Amino acid sequence: MPISIVVGGQFGSEGKGKVAHYLAKEQRASVAVRCGGTNSGHTVIDENGEAQVFRQLPTAAILPDVKLALCAGSYIDVGILQEELARARVDAARLLIDPYAVIITGSHRASESKSGLIEDIGSTGSGTGAAVIERLQRRQETLFAKDVPELSEYIEDVTGDLRSRLNGKQRVILEGTQGFGLSPFHSKLNPYVTSRDTTAAGFLSEVGLSPFDVDEVAMVIRAFPIRVGGNSGPLSNEIDWDTVSKECGKDSLCEWTSVTRHVRRVARFDPQIVIQAINANSPSLFFLNHLDYAPSHSKLILNIEDSLNRRVDYLGLGPNSIEVRNSGSNKMR
């Protein structure tokens, strides 16, 4: 069945938004679904060459012919959503919101601010984690999308709508968030993890569809993995942006997190976390981004493939660049 799931193989910021947009466009997707909450931002370059960051909507929001969906496993900050809808000029007919998506409130954000998680583990403080906890506690005060008048025109049984599309052989893109190394279930780096599972199976569960519906899992990794700034947990082979800049011949190369605008930590490629991600997700497509940071990326690609025993199918050579590497088997070698 035609579902493509996009997953991250490291600690987030691998370029999943760019890949999800690429797949939606190339495969003429009927609908793109965004999982998770506002604790991660996905970047895509629009037709004017400008970077658009979405914390709530799928990056296919800039493709006018693709429907957008926020599933029951989503966590919605209404203010952020409304800003993105206006910026991307998304009309009501294009967006579907499941009635049982949970609303992030000011009390959720305040709870995270007071919890110490921002300082202790590098949490974004978006309120997503607090909303997840409240949902699991089964509190009567939990606010759902169906309870918010401003969202009433978007409310739809998302799972039912997707089932109808799948029955009609329409392509669905499921845009997962963050990265495998942040999974609270499968990462070995607790407590330096996020509040939701970050595997293909976890994302599919949030949408409410069957594993039999999936025919493609696209894993995205980057040549130089990052973690968010601050005390965000172990990062093997950590270096600094000055080193990356000097080696790639660029002046003052640096990245900032799209949510908190803190300088990201950066490292040389480490195969171990990616191998674990491959074992958990069994990807059918493999994307390698941020190769423009490498002075000799052909050699780096071969080294990464050898370390993973896995072929790279698509190359990312810049913010708006995805190239098909070559033909051949995309299974483990």
Tens digit of each residue's pLDDT (9 = 90 or more) over 236-295 = 999 999 999 998 888 788 988 777 778 999 999 999 999 999 999 999 999 999 999 988
Q: Distance between CA atoms of 106 and 127, rounded to whole angstroms?
A: 8
Task: State pTM to two decimals.
Answer: 0.93
pLDDT at 331 over 50: no
Burial 168-190 (b: 16+ CB within 10 A, else e): eeebbbbbbbbbbbbbbebbebe
* Residue 199 pLDDT class (50, 70, 90 cuts): very high
Residue 317: Cβ-neighbour burial (10 angstroms; 0-12, 13-18, 19+):
middle
Higher-pLDDT residue of 110, 204: 204
pLDDT of residue 332: 31
Local structure of residue 234 (DSSP, 8 states) = -
The pLDDT of 65-88, averaged and rounded, is: 97
pLDDT in tens, 48-63: 999 999 999 999 999 9
Looking at residue 117, what is its pLDDT?
A: 67
Helix (H, G, I), strand (E, B) or coil at 32: strand
Which residues are registered as beta bridge partners of 173? 4, 32
Q: What is the mean pLDDT of residues 216-223?
A: 98
Q: Which CATH number does the domain 3-98+154-324 belong to among 3.40.440.10, 3.40.50.300, 3.30.43.10, 3.40.50.10880?
A: 3.40.440.10
Query: Residue 122: what pLDDT?
Result: 63
Q: Mean pLDDT over all residues of the chain?
A: 92
